[in-house]
Structure 1
């Protein structure tokens, strides 16, 4: 018995034998309009045909009795009744057609695992062969390069490297193309997959280069565009193998398949990638697990592509004009240009900021770091403790040879100008000693701690609270230093504890920790304590 299947979208119908239709609700794809709709097979009795019920047999009537015969009566005629309106037949109710969706993640894993188990030998063999095809030529080239380097032959080194790279790309992409064919078509074997892989060596290489270039350029544009591009263009390799669409057309078609399902696809890809990363970080077994289960991951990716293709009705239309072919590589190229430009600009501004600290001023002197060494000839010390070195004029010279006509500065004038606080043409004070550590302990005191006249800490004052202050050498300088502590005893402290402990130390890799000063006092009332110490120069 045949059953008629009709498409609710385009009304295309076809007779299908009943035994070929499985029981229950099924999803059917119309061969004409490619729409997917639900169909439930009707329940048929045994034999394949509905047999109408047989009406019961009527019994013969008994002959009438003579005394029961009634005289004939005149029949009354009644006017004919108007015909009743018969409602038109109602079409059978159909269940609403649910739009197709991507396969559930759990079912996707189950289906991938079933294919992986069935095709394990072929797929793992092709994948291992592709790895060997990439690695062996490169290893051979490395060995030959060592020999060429020993022979000091640069020409030989270049030729060997180029030949090895070409061989590695040819063999590697041929084997990997065969691996992809085996993933897409589960009916082919090892040899047939390798034969088919030889026909897509250059297209597969070109699609891989384009996809990698665009995705990496997107990541250079502050990561987020790269993530979007990676999901959009990920299925270009399967489109190349399954539909023979090449180059940028495969990349653009992959984007069209993903359109409207980006988040669902990204979620499915993220799950398998996270699982792969977690498996890969397992000590010792991680790399081996990644190699063994790589075919499973590729099957999982391919099934997502198949779902997207079914979701779009088997095929999609996409724009592939000249502007589309160059738009996405252009966006990626912008990433490769913009990021280096930003980094160079930041580095330039940073360098400019450091150079701007050197401000030339008039005069013939420049200031150096403080020093405890005695002044040498032509050097004086200003009020801040900086050594000011003057450059004396050569004997026998008069006015300066400067074309501006400025008079030369004599040693005495330079010394005088330094003592009056004039600035030098390249005045730059060295930063404070960063290897100095100041420790202050205080209990039941308040006050201010100053280093060379600059306040570096305020002592808090709470009864019976022990405060420990740890500071670096900010405010100090090489040479002689002075620390002043203005202190005041807390009124009526609960206990008799009263102490201030000051320690200055220096740490270095060769000398270790060196104590430059260590003082304590427990004075009542208020006042000032002054402590001096020297910091030797480097």
Structure 2
């Protein structure tokens, strides 16, 4: 490693510095950040409590709310990032989130498939990709890049700083896990409903802080690189990312097909072994 690179790496803000900076910004914009994330958090909490009510109707409503909560969580995550970088309010942030939902979802799918493909291709590439692509959404919000270009630019920012970024992510994960464990463990003794409520409170306050922390880490990398990257990784690297995503997609589809086949065979076997006169429809209605 040459001297210039060593100097650059030292410019990346320390873990403690990131925590302090994230906390300061978090407190400063507390109402907006928590206000953005409270919507999906309340929806998912409501779903988890409805699941505790016996009956098929409550289960159906619960699953519907979970689906709505997942979509809203994606929108809220994008809205949080937009709010941090643009100092935007709750309304403007959510408008951006809904408007760009499908572009954001496409990036999430690409990153997930590329990381999955990397793990299939000897595990280590998957770990490398999981860190290299971790700023793809931030590139999308701040630079307007789309699709595979966001992965390439994110990897460009991380290039030469993989280990410093990795340790800073690990440190954040350890801190937030300890907080969740200390606060959440006693609630387990109080029952499932209490545990769900405590989990709701922890996520409501911790997730916006985590996003603020990662935003500051991304800003630090952008400053070190001298601003937005004019040229992303070479085409050869982009082809590698696309190949990894294709491998991930193929493996995922194969897994789903095998799972469906096994489920179908198991169901047929159950039908053949059922005693004569056994009424499946009647049993289902009784449940």
Instruction: Give TM-score, length-normalised by structure 2.
Output: 0.67
The correspondence of residues 195-214 of structure 1 with structure 2, limited to 5 A, is: 195-214=95-114
The C-alpha deviation readout for 1:47-89, integer Å capped at 9, x for no partner, is xxxxxxxxxxxxxxxxxxxxxxxxxxxxxxxxxxxxxxxxxxx
**Where does residue 298 of structure 1 map in the other structure?**
211
1:318 to 232, 242, 256: 232
SS in 1 for 2:11: coil
**Where does residue 250 of structure 1 map in the other structure?**
150
1:289 to 177, 191, 202: 202
Are the counterparts in 2 of residues 135 and 168 from structure 1 also a CA contact under 8 Å? no
Name the structure where helix makes up a greater proportion of residues.
2
Question: In the TM superposition, what is the alpha-carbon distance from 1:162 to its structure 2 partner?
Answer: 11
- Cα 1:338–1:163 change in 2 (3 A) is closer
**Where does residue 175 of structure 1 map in the other structure?**
76
1:280 to 180, 183, 190: 180
Are the counterparts in 2 of residues 130 and 176 from structure 1 also a CA contact under 8 Å? no
1:263 to 147, 163, 169: 163
**Where does residue 42 of structure 1 map in the other structure?**
none
Are the counterparts in 2 of residues 238 and 302 from structure 1 also a CA contact under 8 Å? yes
RMSD over aligned Cα, in angstroms?
A: 3.8
- Cα 1:246–1:277 change in 2 (3 A) is same
- Cα 1:136–1:222 change in 2 (3 A) is farther
Unmatched runs of 5 consecutive residues or more in structure 2:
1-6, 188-197, 259-287
Name the structure where strand makes up a greater proportion of residues.
1
2:85 to 170, 176, 184: 184
Q: Aligned residue pairs: how many?
A: 233
The C-alpha deviation readout for 1:294-346, integer Å capped at 9, x for no partner, is 2111111111100000011102111475x6555324225446768989xx9xx
Return the structure number with greater relative CO, CA threshold 8 A, min gap 6: 2
**Where does residue 19 of structure 1 map in the other structure?**
none
The correspondence of residues 434-473 of structure 1 with structure 2, limited to 5 A, is: none
The correspondence of residues 326-337 of structure 1 with structure 2, limited to 5 A, is: 326-334=239-247
SS in 2 for 1:314: coil
2:36 to 126, 146, 149: 126
Instruction: Give TM-score, length-normalised by structure 1.
Output: 0.38
Question: In the TM superposition, what is the alpha-carbon distance from 1:281 to its structure 2 partner?
Answer: 2.3
Instruction: Give the whole-Å Cα distance in 2 for the aligned partners of 1:122 and 1:169.
Output: 20
Instruction: Give the whole-Å Cα distance in 2 for the aligned partners of 1:247 and 1:135.
Output: 32
Are the counterparts in 1 of residues 155 and 233 from structure 2 also a CA contact under 8 Å? no
Are the counterparts in 2 of residues 218 and 224 from structure 1 also a CA contact under 8 Å? yes
Instruction: Give the whole-Å Cα distance in 2 for the aligned partners of 1:114 and 1:301.
Output: 14
SS in 2 for 1:281: helix
Instruction: Give the whole-Å Cα distance in 2 for the aligned partners of 1:138 and 1:172.
Output: 15
Instruction: Give the whole-Å Cα distance in 1 for the aligned partners of 2:219 and 2:232.
Output: 18
1:107 aligns to 2:17 (yes or no)? yes
- Cα 1:184–1:138 change in 2 (3 A) is farther
Are the counterparts in 2 of residues 218 and 229 from structure 1 also a CA contact under 8 Å? yes
- Cα 1:138–1:195 change in 2 (3 A) is farther
- Cα 1:338–1:134 change in 2 (3 A) is closer
Are the counterparts in 2 of residues 137 and 167 from structure 1 also a CA contact under 8 Å? no
- Cα 1:138–1:320 change in 2 (3 A) is farther
Instruction: Give the whole-Å Cα distance in 2 for the aligned partners of 1:270 and 1:221.
Output: 23
Instruction: Give the whole-Å Cα distance in 1 for the aligned partners of 2:234 and 2:45.
Output: 36
Flag the structure with larger Rg. Answer: 1
- Cα 1:276–1:313 change in 2 (3 A) is same
- Cα 1:221–1:290 change in 2 (3 A) is farther
Are the counterparts in 1 of residues 172 and 210 from structure 2 also a CA contact under 8 Å? yes
The C-alpha deviation readout for 1:345-396, integer Å capped at 9, x for no partner, is xxxxxxxxxxxxxxxxxxxxxxxxxxxxxxxxxxxxxxxxxxxxxxxxxxxx
The C-alpha deviation readout for 1:449-472, integer Å capped at 9, x for no partner, is xxxxxxxxxxxxxxxxxxxxxxxx
**Where does residue 383 of structure 1 map in the other structure?**
none
**Where does residue 233 of structure 1 map in the other structure?**
133
Unmatched runs of 5 consecutive residues or more in structure 1:
1-97, 150-156, 345-538
Instruction: Give the whole-Å Cα distance in 2 for the aligned partners of 1:292 and 1:165.
Output: 20
